[in-house]
Amino acid sequence: MKAILGKKLGMTQVFTDDGLVIPVTVVEAGPMTVVQKKTKEVDGYETCVCAFDQKKKNVTKPEKGIFDKAKVEPFKVLKEIALDGNLEVGAVVKADIFAAKDKVDVIGITKGHGFSGVIKRWNQHRLKMTHGTGPVHREVGSMSANSSPSRVFKNKHMPGQYGNEKVTIQNLEIVKVDADRNLLLIKGNVPGAKGAVLTIRESVKAK
């Protein structure tokens, strides 16, 4: 599987030769370094531990041990990714593993909105502004029958924590690859705020 770690930089638009406007998300993809390989014999499964976004301070002792063993500088992000088994420790993965028109899945953490009401969280309508409704017009509304079933059904849309969850958007198209600057231009929107760390992998359900 082809995959790379990246950072969301923001959104812009590009024009095709036909004059069409395509909204794109600009992602700084890599360079990503393989710092550890896990094997079935030692760890019970096979994967690669990859590092992204170099830093110079605030490295924990366990992380420092991984970096020292791989003989690389410290990084901010460490993540396990199932990559091609031929990659060795110290191998560097760059944005040029992808090409224009490739289909990818983008995994990230969505923006956190805190404790939110049902209108913001579930896109519900507000209550009527007249006929005795109120003084609150943005509340949930009717919850359930009072005698039968005398309870609120599971999965009822209620206020609560909104956002700040892991989301995968599938089958996004790469519009352009800028290998010199390690940039991927991905059609449409991807999860997270500016600066969010993303995992970009080849699509598992490519159409």
pLDDT tens, per residue, the chain with 207 residues: 889 999 999 999 999 889 899 999 999 997 999 988 888 898 898 888 899 988 777 888 888 888 888 888 888 888 998 887 678 888 888 998 999 999 999 999 999 999 999 999 999 999 999 998 888 899 998 888 888 888 999 999 999 999 999 999 999 999 999 999 999 999 999 999 999 999 999 999 876
Check which CATH number belongs to the domain holding 177 and give it.
2.40.30.10
β-sheet bridge partners, residue 73: none
Check which CATH number belongs to the domain holding 53 and give it.
3.30.160.810
Q: Does residue 151 sit within a domain?
A: no
Could you give the 3-state DSSP secondary structure of residue 122? helix
> pTM, whole model, 2 decimals?
0.84
Whether residues 89 and 52 fall in one domain: yes
CA–CA distance from 2 to each of 53, 80, 158 (Å)? 19, 13, 39
Residue 116 pLDDT: 96
Whether residues 18 and 55 fall in one domain: no
Structural domain of 40:
31-93
Whether residues 4 and 75 fall in one domain: no
Residue 207 pLDDT: 67
Residue 206 pLDDT: 76
Whether residues 48 and 131 fall in one domain: no
Whether residues 176 and 102 fall in one domain: yes
Q: Tell me how many domains the chain contains.
A: 3
Whether residues 51 and 88 fall in one domain: yes
Q: What angle do CA 76, 9, 58 make, to 5 degrees?
A: 15
Whether residues 130 and 182 fall in one domain: no
